[in-house]
Amino acid sequence: MKRYLNESQFDALRERIKARRAALHLPRSISRQLFTRVSARDIEDTTGRDMTLQKMAVWSTIILSFLLFAACLVAVIGAFGWGATLAAPLTGIFWTILVGLTPERGTPWHSTAGFAIGLGLAAVAPGEYTPLIALFAASVWLNHVGYAMAQHWAQQLVTDSFAAYDMLVEHLRIDDPEAADSQ
């Protein structure tokens, strides 16, 4: 299917999407950028849809994820004392790697399974390590959930609005078996 559609072609594609015969895919990183870098007013002016609540939810996951990570570092300092001079940077590096892997890889189920494993480890860990493991797992999970929410809402927006489709067409992948050259 060709990527650049006029409005009537988009309407036909939207009907196939609603019938689950086609799909639009927008990368999670682009979806989150839509909610973090584009103002709610600009989204509404372009698409006619108010996305303020969705924008606030995405920002909340970002802020809470960082706050949980900061609390984790405080717990590392409490658990390791002077050993935190090594443990805190290693925790930061490990967190950065895991958070860096989450945007485009895996599903929310994978991150939820990882979160559950983290909570399980926290439950069996010695008492002084329980908070830092739980906070670390919650921070990584919440970061991934923020990306997944942004992707879900951005794909809904693109499916419902030709203006949003037109605005993000360069980043979309269209899976449409009924079209000859599906992208």
Mean pLDDT, rounded, for 46-58: 95
Rounded to the nearest 5 degrees, what angle is found at the Cα of 143, between the Cα atoms of 140 and 144? 90
Average pLDDT score over the chain: 89
Q: Is the predicted pLDDT of residue 38 greater than 80, yes or no?
A: yes
pLDDT band at 116 (very low <50, low <70, confident <90, very high): confident
**Domain layout of the chain by residue ranges:** 7-175
| Predicted pLDDT of residue 168 | 92
Mean pLDDT, rounded, for 107-133: 84
HEC readout, 96-148: HHHHHHCCCCCCHHHHHHHHHHHHHHHHHCCCCCHHHHHHHHHHHHHHHHHHH
Q: Cα(181)–Cα(93) distance, rounded to whole angstroms? A: 43
The token duo for 5 is 């559609």
State pTM to two decimals: 0.85
Q: Is the predicted pLDDT of residue 25 greater than 60, yes or no?
A: yes
| Predicted pLDDT of residue 182 | 46
Q: Is the predicted pLDDT of residue 180 greater than 60, yes or no?
A: no
- Phi, psi (degrees; rounded to nearest 5) at 51: -110, 25
Q: Is the predicted pLDDT of residue 2 greater than 70, yes or no?
A: no
Q: How many residues does the chain have?
A: 183
pLDDT band at 123 (very low <50, low <70, confident <90, very high): confident
